[in-house]
Amino acid sequence: MTRFRRRVGIAVKQRYMMWVMCGRPTYKLTWEEIVALYRLTLDQPARNTQARYNVCPTTTIDTIVGQNNKLQLVPMRWGLVPFWWSKPLKELKLATFNARAETVAEKPFFREAFKRNRCLIPVSGYYEWQDTPSGKQPWYFTARNGSPALTIAGLWDEWRDKANGETLKSCTMIITKPNEVVAEVHDRMPVLLTEQEFEPWLGGTTGLELLKPAPDDLLQRWPVSKRVNSSRAPDDDPTLIERISVQ
């Protein structure tokens, strides 16, 4: 019975991660593109970035942070662990990979990071799922103008594991109401920032007023294979974002 309950629990968790979270991103930016797009401070070694087509929560993703007047790329765990968390990481059961724009300044898990730890999260695109008579149909969203990156407003924090003394940097993506294009598929979308909004967001000189739906002409979308419905779909499979025909 215990084994059965464990299997059910895993299945429920996988469905929760797929349908409740706002998207599951892709990431296929080169180091040169990242440096140019975010004007990184070139005092860190170049990264050999790897294309990823099925990025899931709790895995490591790249973020852009501003510290000491420098913009740097910092890998972090996707799923925020607040600095004050006092229990082992495995006991953090809440889904903290998304933070809702409407409550991000108030919720205990996010409010301190909202005040002091902002970040940018570069992605190449992301998936959302639509209810259809034949089941959940995934759609891929990416920049309509061909830009290699979409930039999601994020928060980050640093947590210390009392058991081993190690520190963990982690982050969350902020989500908001959908624009008209996204609303045809899903009821939420990530907060997408423009280049002009990077500095005020990171510096904390602006806040909730930026956490709004993107313009309707920012994104394009197309249907993709239901193979991406599984969080176990290969992370390195570029065919996951190929357009398919749907009835």
Q: Show which residues are catalytic.
A: 22, 128
CA-nearest of 239, 241, 237, 236 to 222 is: 241
Calculate the CA 70 to chain-centre distance: 22
Pairing of β 150-160 and β 167-176: antiparallel
191 in Cβ contact with 211 (< 8 Å):
yes
Element (H, E) at 131: strand 125-132
Q: What is the DSSP string of 65-85?
A: EEETTEEEEEEEEES---TT-
58 in Cβ contact with 89 (< 8 Å):
no
CA-nearest of 240, 206, 236, 198 to 223 is: 240
Q: Side-chain half-sphere of 112: how many Cα atoms within 13 Å?
A: 11
For residue 214, the one-letter residue type is: A
